[in-house]
Amino acid sequence: MYIPSSSFLSPGDNAWQLTAATFVGLQSIPGLAILYGGLVKRKWAVSSAMMAIYAFAAVMVVWVLAGFNMGFGHPWLGSVVGIPQPVLGALTEEGRASIPLLKGLMPALTIPGSSLIYFQFVFAAIAPIILAGAVFGRMSLRAWMIFVPVWSLLVYSVNAFMVWGGGWLSQLGVVDYSGGYVIHVAAGISGFVAALVVGPRVLKDQRDFKPNNMLLAVAGAGILWLGWNGFNGGDPYFANGDAAAAVLNTNLATAVALLAWFFLDMMVNRKLSVVGAINGMICGLVAITPAAGYVDGSGAILIGLLGASIPWFTMNRLSEKWPFRKADDTLGVVHTHFLAGAVGGVMVGLIANPAMIVYLGVGGSAGVSVGGLIFGNAHQLLVQVFGLLVVTAYSGAMTFGILKAIAFFVPLRMTDKELEAGDRMIFNEEVFELHHPIPPPEPIDAPTGGVGDLGSAPALG
């Protein structure tokens, strides 16, 4: 039996939104799980993947129970956060998607609420998974299990409301196309604070933390790169020209950033590194995220160059200096996510092109766009810097408070035995089983019989 769609629904917009959301979900599971599993030391591969898998599932539950409405619902506590309530009703899921505070400021969405809820969930899920990269190799999984849902509600959802849900930062004019501030700056600074609070890895792991499987890391990085098409391509909420431009800009900036890191490694460090190329790729993806639909192709190239070059410099030349040396950030999340996201967000205030139309206004009226300083809008640069400072300060301070509160109930660090043995001690599992050589036979006592009597000597085989 054919059941017609609701009159408001655009099958094309809805199909793209669900596809884009699935792409973003694949960035986490399996993308980051695979990337992390390849980049970390072998004894931590299972733990790192499990932290990602757990975060994805835990955020799904708290998102539908409270997180979505805290980020996109009706305002509560002024314009800081939305009212925490579930989104499990039939009318919410099948009815027209809306963001209450943005009604009248953007065209009515042509997708159902369930599409918007799921699309925003995969964004919420990837944020703590990014954060996890800073604390691999020592944070207790029990502490992580508590930290993820609390951080998602008190940090991620609040930032989402302030910047995206119509909260006070968005009212000031702060923009973030697809999560440079809400996801990457917040996760990057929170990871740095978490690494500081939880403490460093054991000295042996700090000195020797070589990747255990580079091809696995490359596979995960590839999933991350292509999954980003949904990350930035889905954020206009319409399958329109700006979505296509955002996808093109994303790939262009990422290619430039990867090449920039690659050539900096080759010319300055005099050595090539696949890990370095992956870092460059990630920096490009992150840096273009707050700007993807606001800048043109020339802007995307510039963002790719700066988005990789600045983190390359801090990681290669400043990692042993204050403040970076204060925290043992396992995978350099503060460089590849916080700094790259900050670069992209500030660049919006400099080079956003008002000719890039995110979506047309109601009835085809003037569309929504953003202009930067070079187009005569100095205010945009000021509010972008202000938004960066607010998200950084709030996320870092709240992460510190959450971890200190959790420490009253659960140790933040693994035990000494777990730190030494890794996955085999925690899960009784390893990323792959090693076939240990058969031990040599035990010495045979001198036989009591003739020369040919070997008694019960063990068989060799």
pLDDT band for 123, please (50, 70, 90 cuts). Answer: very high
pLDDT band for 444, please (50, 70, 90 cuts). Answer: very low
351 residue type, one letter: I
- What pLDDT, in 10s, does the model give residues 137-174? 999 999 999 999 999 999 999 999 999 999 999 999 99
pLDDT band for 454, please (50, 70, 90 cuts). Answer: very low
* pLDDT value at 443 more than 90: no
- Cα-only R_g, the chain: 25
Please tell me the predicted confidence (pLDDT) of residue 360.
Answer: 65
450 vs 80, higher pLDDT: 80
What does the pLDDT average to over 253-281?
A: 95
Please tell me the predicted confidence (pLDDT) of residue 305.
Answer: 98
pLDDT band for 30, please (50, 70, 90 cuts). Answer: very high
Among the listed residues 8, 108, 129, 143, the one whose alpha carbon sits nearest the alpha carbon of residue 59:
129
* pLDDT value at 379 more than 80: yes
Q: How far apart are CA 224 and CA 44, in angstroms?
A: 21
What does the pLDDT average to over 306-312?
A: 98
pLDDT band for 27, please (50, 70, 90 cuts). Answer: very high
Contact by Cβ (8 Å): 62, 269? no
Please tell me the predicted confidence (pLDDT) of residue 134.
Answer: 98
Most confident of 245-249, 266-270, 271-275: 245-249
- What pLDDT, in 10s, does the model give residues 235-266? 999 999 999 999 999 999 999 999 999 999 99
* pLDDT value at 459 more than 90: no
What does the pLDDT average to over 114-123?
A: 98
Please tell me the predicted confidence (pLDDT) of residue 168.
Answer: 94
Please tell me the predicted confidence (pLDDT) of residue 449.
Answer: 40
Instruction: Mark out the alpha helices in 133-240 (DSSP H runs).
Output: 141-151, 157-163, 168-172, 186-198, 203-207, 214-233
pLDDT band for 3, please (50, 70, 90 cuts). Answer: low
Please tell me the predicted confidence (pLDDT) of residue 461.
Answer: 33
Please tell me the predicted confidence (pLDDT) of residue 189.
Answer: 98
Please tell me the predicted confidence (pLDDT) of residue 440.
Answer: 52
Coil, strand or helix: which one is 359?
A: strand
Q: How far apart are CA 315 and CA 2, in angstroms?
A: 57
* pLDDT value at 445 more than 60: no
Percent residues over pLDDT 70 in the chain: 91
- What pLDDT, in 10s, does the model give residues 333-350? 999 999 999 999 999 999
* pLDDT value at 452 more than 50: no
Q: Where are the domains of the chain?
A: 12-90+110-420
5 vs 128, higher pLDDT: 128
C-alpha distances out from residue 327 to 68, 177, 195, 406, 430, Å: 32, 30, 6, 19, 27
* pLDDT value at 457 more than 60: no
* pLDDT value at 60 more than 50: yes
Q: Which residues contact 16 (CB under 8 A, 6 or more apart)?
A: 233, 234, 239, 243
Is residue 434 classed exposed, middle or buried when 0-12, 13-18 and 19+ CB atoms within 10 A define those classes?
A: exposed
The CATH architecture to which 12-90+110-420 belongs is Orthogonal Bundle (1.10)
pLDDT band for 107, please (50, 70, 90 cuts). Answer: confident
Percent residues over pLDDT 90 in the chain: 82
What does the pLDDT average to over 20-25?
A: 98
pLDDT band for 420, please (50, 70, 90 cuts). Answer: very high
Please tell me the predicted confidence (pLDDT) of residue 433.
Answer: 62
In whole numbers, what is the pLDDT of the chain averaged over residues?
A: 91
Please tell me the predicted confidence (pLDDT) of residue 455.
Answer: 37
Please tell me the predicted confidence (pLDDT) of residue 460.
Answer: 33
Q: How far apart are CA 3 and CA 18, in angstroms?
A: 19
pLDDT band for 195, please (50, 70, 90 cuts). Answer: very high
Please tell me the predicted confidence (pLDDT) of residue 78.
Answer: 85
What does the pLDDT average to over 424-442?
A: 67
Please tell me the predicted confidence (pLDDT) of residue 361.
Answer: 54
As given in the structure block, the two tokens for residue 154 are: 């008190």
What does the pLDDT average to over 77-81?
A: 89
What does the pLDDT average to over 354-364?
A: 73
As given in the structure block, the two tokens for residue 142 are: 């029990």
